[in-house]
Structure 1
């Protein structure tokens, strides 16, 4: 066993000389064998090892005795020992999660805190090859996504260092033989025998049948896990490039959008991962009940021929197809001022800060030339003051430059492919007679009358500081 573990550690660079190593120890065979193994190599590698036990308070006095046992063995082997207790049952009830999830969510922050406290290079955990087989089978049973059936990673970043699992190359039997050979008498958790738990059921009932056909299934599964993880790592990097190139986020990552055609140029496998990356950016924590069903309806949205379609995702996330764009936003952030009409007088000269943060500024001027879509100029004598800035209302029409007669504002929005929700937030500048002069930043209109030798009014839209 020792030779196999050493070769595995060297292959995957799971230890280096002079390292500080934190070992997660429960008192069971796996973690006690792990603790003894590192104890046996500490002088050779000149490493500083620290054991930590977390009492999950799930088995009352037995859990306390597990911790006492580990503490006693650490004292015997002169290994520094850290301990902590967490209330798994209370967490489980509060957040409505499984016992295993609750225990993990409480245990890992303690590990991270201890990693920082001791400036540790590695957190070493005792998962072994049979754990890997069980995990892969459980993932296949529960997930429909290839990136969710990768198994237990050998090494991954954690805090300022890495989590490593050097026993993934050996079986439970090898660990038990190691304990026997080295006179280690670990604590046994009786809950590991309860086949009501899926993992235990697989261990007791399913995996033995598989091993009858393939005694080396643990090697096959470990190799598969490593291959899948390498492939997934590459695909995730490519999906991140896709997101960086095609998707636009706002500053606080509460809104995202992308052109459909640009997104669809990429392979579907990258599209799927990009979709999940976008959700990871938008959600502070992705809801557990998001599943492949949500993924399927997203791709249905991507392919639909309809111009305006909206999906409701958990926690008020909306995904909307708006003509040739896909937009992600949270409903509470999209209702800033669309729910009520906006009307305000626009003095000349003067400034008005709009609800979306933009600013309209007005002044009298002698020049007639307009600069781009963010400036509007008209003859002061051709309109009725004061100017008004408002949102749209039913029946709005405007006189387009170069067009005899008028056009419905609604038709203009449709022609320009303005999303329905954006239409209610679009600002209009009108005169006192309610003649639309400017659909701000979008379309300029002509007032009814033309007056020569009159001062001009300039209206400019800018971002408010």
Structure 2
């Protein structure tokens, strides 16, 4: 109903100077899903509005449940079809906002979470807009009935096993009997908390700028330890959000404080979550998406004429004067075994590769996935593209290691 009312409003608004398109996401989760698609086609045809039908696949065994998986698939479809600079209008209303605040309160969210949905925010190269966020559902229903609009109710909305439906059908109506303005009050609280969260976010970004290294995926442990625990948590959240990485779970902040920031200077502690890895090394926190390492016994012959794909998904290429395929003679690419030595440019004698790694500041976890290039006579020519031998440097051939991200 709410989406139908919003579409009708936008299609008939004289102030709307831009063309309106509609998108219907068919999740394929209900037996009547195709009938719902035909209904949307009929509604849009009557309004003279272009309709995009996006058929998506939803995982039924995701870690966060079917509802979350459907939402993820839906927003991915929105992002795919939104043109740069366009605005995606969603029909969330005041009652939806009240439900969101209650849900997040019950999940122990802080001010960021309790600020709930925002009227506008950046999205997929454009803008996400919720023009009805201050409008009660009752007003939308009255509008829909006045204009004789037709809509379909999703049967899953009656499933009380879903938390949001339970709040909508059972909890909020009971609260409204005692406090009729409850939905308005919850929405107002969300707006106030959004203001507070914005101020805190701005301050956290100042601290983040002080702590962030030349590589944006690093933070100074010394700067972090100079902050109070609540500010450290906010800086970490702002950091990961800016990098587009998943948020840390609640218990993570105490673990990071004790096991990473509080570890011995010579330790190399690690914290893993949601496919990400946080490490402390040389006075910095380093974060990255977990990536595979080379099998310890892996090796292959290579002539350098074509890029070589590694078991990790990375590729290596030889380049001379900008041309890929600068072959030398028969070479071998292998995983590091330990004990290798390399003669660096400007040096007369070979040095332990391990020492070269330390001198060049190559982190230990990078060494596990770094390909070694050997000449036909067994001399080590390069370790990745960060450590090259005098012999390779003199050949005017450059090794390019393209890491898979």
Counterpart for residue 100 of structure 1: 67
Secondary structure in 1 matching 2:29: coil
* Distance in 1 (alpha carbons) for counterparts of 2:145 and 2:174: 26
Question: Which SS does the other structure have where 1:185 is aligned?
Answer: coil
Larger RCO, structures 1/2 (Cα 8 Å, 6+ apart):
1
Task: Give yes or no for contact 2:221–2:261 (8 Å, CA) kept in 1.
Answer: no
Larger Rg: 1
Rate the CA distance shift 1:77–1:340 in 2: closer, same or farther, 3 A. same
Range 199-208 or range 231-240, more displaced: 231-240
> Does structure 1 retain, via aligned residues, the 8 Å contact 2:260–2:280?
no
Kindly indicate whether residue 260 of structure 2 is the aligned counterpart of residue 299 of structure 1.
Answer: no
User: Among 41, 44, 66, which residue is 1:71 paired with?
Assistant: 41
Please give the secondary structure, in 1, of the residue aligned with 2:49.
coil
Segments of 5+ residues of structure 1 without an aligned counterpart are: 1-28, 345-351, 354-359, 364-386, 394-412, 426-463
On the 8 A contact 1:246/1:263 being kept in 2, the answer is yes
RMSD: 3.6
Deviation string 1:1-42 (CA, Å, 9 cap, x unpaired) is xxxxxxxxxxxxxxxxxxxxxxxxxxxx1111111222231x
1:32–1:186 contact (8 Å) kept in structure 2? yes
Do the aligned partners of residues 77 and 298 (structure 1) sit closer, same or farther apart at CA in structure 2, a change above 3 Å counting? same
Residue in structure 1 matching 2:12, options 4, 22, 40: 40
Match in the other structure for 2:21: 50
Say if 2:198 is the partner of 1:239.
no
Secondary structure at the residue paired with 2:81?
A: helix
- SS for the counterpart of 2:200 is helix
Separation of aligned partners in 1, 2:242 and 2:49: 42
- After superposition, what is the alpha-carbon deviation per residue over 1:326-373, rounded to whole angstroms, capped at 9, x for unaligned? 4335687999999723434xxxxxxx33xxxxxx5247xxxxxxxxxx
Distance in 2 (alpha carbons) for counterparts of 1:392 and 1:69? 66
> TM-score if structure 1 supplies the norm length?
0.60
Count of paired positions: 323
> 1:343 is matched with which residue?
341
Q: Verify: 1:258 aligned to 2:220, yes or no.
A: yes
* Structure 2 segments unaligned to the other structure (5+ residues): 297-334, 369-396, 399-405
Deviation at 1:158, TM superposition (A): 1.7
After TM superposition, the structure 1 = structure 2 runs for residues 266-415 of structure 1, keeping only pairs within 5 Å, are 266=227, 268-280=229-241, 285-286=245-246, 290-301=248-259, 304=262, 306-309=264-267, 310-314=269-273, 315=275, 317-320=277-280, 325-328=283-286, 340-344=338-342, 352-353=343-344, 360-362=345-347, 387-390=349-352
| Partners of 1:38 and 1:292 in 2: CA distance | 41
| 1:426-449 CA-partner distances (Å, limit 9, x unpaired) | xxxxxxxxxxxxxxxxxxxxxxxx
- Is it true that 1:80 corresponds to 2:50 in the alignment? yes
Structure 1 pair 390–46 and aligned structure 2 pair: CA distance change class (3 A): closer
* Displacement after TM superposition at 1:55 (Å): 1.3
Q: Is the 8 A contact 1:238 1:270 kept in 2?
A: no
Equivalent residue, structure 2, for 1:384: none
- Provide the C-alpha distance between the structure 2 equivalents of 1:101 and 1:149, rounded to a whole number of angstroms: 18
SS in 2 for 1:87: coil
Summarize the alignment of residues 130-169 of structure 1 with structure 2, pairs less than 5 Å apart: 130-169=95-134
CA distance, structure 2, for counterparts of residue 334 and residue 389 of structure 1: 24
- Residue 222 and residue 92 in structure 1: after superposition, are their counterparts in 2 closer, same or farther (change >3 A)? same
TM-score (norm 2): 0.68
